[in-house]
């Protein structure tokens, strides 16, 4: 902000950051924007840049800074109830459904499992609507999503080649084994992993999400054989 230098004490910054998290959780967009503005001013943002980022007028930045200087964090809190969250349009809900189904990585987030605050941020960045976390859970359920545990799926397996193997190679193996009176043994290994387990994520009901994995992980393994013929 031109002509203004704002330095925050560590205690004050932590209080603002805590208030910001609480406002975001409630879906209180007014208070959240004001606290973000003060934190950004303290970090050296100029008013024109900050107004563009927050989609507000430069005069609002000046008034919020003045209110903070006079009254502290209490001067930033909205005196009005945030009320009922604004609704997404039908087309926005369809777009949101597609983005959630494609997974966090496709939307630019790290990891492969959705958390409700991540979707809260996704909606705000994409549609300018800030839902409370509690309301957002109900919205997702109404859209056909449920909070469920993901499962791993190998990122290098080819379904088409598997079908080809079952249709052509496996019958040849069976025929050869019978002709030579040989045994067919299936081998596999049991793993005792030493890594974390998958957590829950938001996904459409009845469609368990999958998380690609390279399979390169540490653990104890035991190999065994099962006789098919």
224 contact partners, CB below 8 Å, separation of at least 6: 187, 188, 189, 190
Query: Measured between alpha carbons, how far is 139 from 146 in angstroms, rounded to an integer?
Result: 10
pLDDT, one tens digit per residue, over 110-126 is: 778 898 888 988 998 88
Tell me whether residue 36 is exposed, middle or buried, using C-beta atoms within 10 angstroms of its C-beta: 0 to 12, 13 to 18, 19 or more.
buried
Q: Which of 80-89, 110-119, 165-174, 205-214 has the highest mean pLDDT?
A: 165-174
pLDDT, one tens digit per residue, over 104-161 is: 989 988 778 898 888 988 998 888 888 887 888 889 999 999 888 877 776 667 778 8
Q: Which residue has the tokens 């705000």?
A: 124
Residue 80 has pLDDT above 80, yes or no: no
> How does strand 145-149 pair with strand 185-193?
unpaired
pLDDT, one tens digit per residue, over 89-109 is: 999 999 999 999 999 989 988
pLDDT, one tens digit per residue, over 54-75 is: 778 888 888 888 888 888 888 8
Query: Measured between alpha carbons, how far is 204 from 147 in angstroms, rounded to an integer?
Result: 9
Tell me whether residue 6 is exposed, middle or buried, using C-beta atoms within 10 angstroms of its C-beta: 0 to 12, 13 to 18, 19 or more.
middle
How much is the pLDDT for 156?
Answer: 67
3-class secondary structure, 207: coil
When pLDDT is cut at 50, 70 and 90, the band that residue 1 belongs to is very low
The two tokens of residue 59 are: 């005069």
3-class secondary structure, 218: coil
How much is the pLDDT for 98?
Answer: 93
Query: Measured between alpha carbons, how far is 113 from 149 in angstroms, rounded to an integer?
Result: 9
7 conformational bin, left if phi > 0, alpha if psi -120 to 50, beta if neither:
beta
User: Between 25 and 187, where is the model more confident?
Assistant: 187
């Amino acid at each position: 902000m031109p002509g203004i230098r704002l330095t925050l004490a560590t205690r004050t910054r932590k209080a603002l950051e805590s208030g910001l998290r609480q406002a975001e959780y409630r879906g209180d967009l007014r208070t959240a924007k004001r606290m973000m503005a003060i934190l950004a001013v303290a970090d050296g943002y100029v008013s024109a840049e900050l107004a563009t980022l927050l989609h507000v007028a430069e005069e609002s930045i000046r008034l919020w800074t003045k209110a903070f200087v006079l009254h502290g964090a209490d001067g930033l809190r909205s005196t009005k109830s945030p009320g009922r969250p604004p609704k997404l349009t039908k087309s926005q809900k369809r777009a949101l459904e597609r983005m959630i189904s494609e997974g966090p990585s496709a939307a630019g987030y790290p990891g492969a499992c959705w958390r409700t605050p991540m979707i809260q941020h996704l909606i705000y960045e994409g549609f300018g609507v800030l839902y409370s976390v509690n309301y957002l859970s109900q919205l997702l359920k109404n859209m056909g999503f449920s909070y469920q545990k993901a499962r791993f799926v190998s990122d290098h397996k080819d379904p088409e080649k598997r079908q080809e193997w079952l249709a052509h190679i496996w019958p040849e193996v069976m025929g050869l084994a019978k002709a030579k009176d040989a045994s067919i043994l299936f081998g596999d290994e049991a793993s005792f992993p030493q890594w974390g387990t998958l957590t829950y994520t938001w996904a459409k009901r009845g469609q368990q999400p999958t998380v690609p994995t390279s399979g390169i992980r540490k653990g104890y393994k035991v190999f065994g054989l099962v006789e098919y013929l």
